[in-house]
Homo-oligomer: A and B are copies of this chain.
Amino acid sequence: MFDLVTLGEAMIRLAAPHGESLESATNLEMRSAGAEANVAVVLARMGYRTSWISRLPDDPLGRRIAGDLRRHGVDTSAVAWAAGGRTGLYFLEQAPPPRGVTVYYDRGGSAFSALDPDRIDWAPVRQSRWAHTTGITPALGEACARAAVRFLAEARAAGVPTSLDVNHRRKLWDAKRARATLEPLLEGINVVIAAQEDAREVFDLQGSPPDLAERLRERVRAGAAVVTAGSEGAYLADDDAVYGEPAIPGVEVDPIGRGDAFAAGLIWGALEGDLCAGLRYGVALASLSQTFWGDVPWVTRQEVLGLLTSRSAKPER
């Protein structure tokens, strides 16, 4: 029995040191990363039982990814191990303005992209209290798109509520294809999450972030829609109303994974039966996440709750 099951690819992330480029770096920092894996990690850290469904090659990099997830407490027994194939990679340069973050994907031909939905063990979906995936999964190819459909269908059949984070990746597909694939997928989903620029670009919506939340919910016929708006905070639209939660200011050390941390917070609230609490957990986790190198915040449930209580962090000695 799990509290959360997620489906998605995880990659090896290879980052140039701060101040260097991939042309100049002599060492790359290696970590594991992937939107749905990140969500499973964060909720495992919060004390929930989480399972991650994926496919990895049975080689050192594949084992590395599974180990990195287990370290945080994620159950990896639903990972399908491929005899061949490669591990998806992404190369990363982080820089302050005017450069910003640049991601170079090298994930084509990965073991995950070649998964066969009929050979995945979907049992954990049926044994879970919540199921989550993102718009990245169907963007990875036809097999992955079918896996996402199957994942959500298995959940619905078992009465397991679902969420999907749109997470539009311009380097993987364009907005038109994303919309054509995601719209049918989102129908009937319990919670859909989108950054405001994705809501605009993929679903052709307009308006302020709270408006976007409301229109997104209608457009995709989701139970609830959440739109994130960076430093402006996040907005949740459900049957009754639109709720807003301001962002918690912080200093950005590494922005990657901030959205996944937010999504994890939202699901945390959903597991407690309170999506508004989820908004608060989300903004707290997002603000904490950006202060860590790598995609995931190495925090405890107590630290998140502490931040929400105090909204301040004084050195204590």
Contacts and interface: CB of A to CB of B under 8 A. Distances in A.
A272 interface: no
A71 B60 CA distance: 13
Contacts of A315: 100-103, 255
Contacts of A313: 97-100
Interface string A282-317: 000001100111100010100000010001111111
A51 to B, nearest CB: 14
A277 to B, nearest CB: 18
Interface stretch (A61-69, A124-132, A205-213, A237-245): A61-69
Contacts of A253: 18-19, 95-96
Instruction: Please report whether the interface of chain A is mostly helix, strand, loop or mixed according to DSSP.
Output: loop
30 contacts: A18-B253, A19-B254, A19-B291, A21-B60, A22-B64, A23-B63, A23-B298, A24-B292, A24-B294, A25-B30, A27-B29, A28-B28, A28-B30, A59-B104, A60-B104, A61-B91, A67-B72, A70-B70, A71-B71, A86-B106, A86-B108, A95-B253, A95-B291, A96-B253, A99-B250, A99-B288, A100-B315, A102-B316, A105-B317, A109-B109
Contacts of A73: 67, 70
Nearest to A108: B109
Contacts of A25: 30
Interface in A106-132: 106, 108-109
Contacts of A311: 98
Interface string A152-176: 0000000000000000011100000
A38 to B, nearest CB: 14
A251 interface: yes
Nearest to A77: B73
A316 B19 contact: no
Nearest to A287: B98
Contact of A91 (B19, B60, B316): B60
